[in-house]
């Protein structure tokens, strides 16, 4: 028997009548799957396009939060920020941290924090 004869004797493909029609349930299932896929894509795009703050902006916000009238609290907070940013020590900072009578210029300390934040890369 040749392949052509064999193919000619094959019966046609039969699909049950329920599978051949697209009904209301099928349409609703397709819409629901589309909505779920859209929500998943939206979540992924939100993560990808999320605006990340620059380290300088974070440092400025932290410096603004340290506008405490108590100079010792402010110097301590700025020293912690400077350490976290990986900056270099400011002249007289160690003495000002351990001796309340010593003073350090907070403007110079803020400038050192911002300078270190500018050099830092984004996470």
Cα(81)–Cα(106) distance, integer angstroms: 12
- Each residue's pLDDT, cut to its tens digit, for the chain (123 residues) gives 788 888 888 877 777 777 777 889 989 999 999 999 999 999 999 999 988 878 888 888 888 888 877 878 888 888 888 888 887 777 777 777 777 788 888 888 888 888 888 887 655
pLDDT of residue 122: 59
Cα(87)–Cα(111) distance, integer angstroms: 10
Domain count, the chain: 1
Q: Are 90 and 109 in contact (CB under 8 A)?
A: yes
**Structural domain range at position 100:** 55-119
- Measured in degrees and rounded to the nearest 5, phi and psi for residue 105 equal -70, 115
Cα(121)–Cα(107) distance, integer angstroms: 23
Q: Is 35 exposed, middle or buried (0-12, 13-18, 19+ CB in 10 A)?
A: exposed
């Amino acid at each position: 028997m040749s392949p052509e004869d064999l193919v000619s004797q094959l019966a046609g493909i039969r699909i049950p009548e329920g599978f051949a029609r697209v009904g209301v349930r099928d349409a609703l299932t397709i819409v629901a799957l589309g909505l779920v896929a859209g929500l998943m894509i939206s979540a992924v795009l939100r993560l990808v396009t999320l605006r990340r703050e620059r380290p300088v902006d974070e440092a400025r916000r932290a410096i603004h939060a340290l506008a405490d009238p108590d100079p010792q609290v402010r110097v301590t907070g700025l020293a912690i920020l400077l350490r976290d940013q990986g900056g270099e020590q400011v002249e007289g900072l160690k003495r000002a941290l351990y001796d309340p009578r010593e003073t350090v210029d907070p403007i110079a300390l803020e400038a050192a924090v911002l300078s270190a934040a500018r050099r830092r890369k984004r996470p």
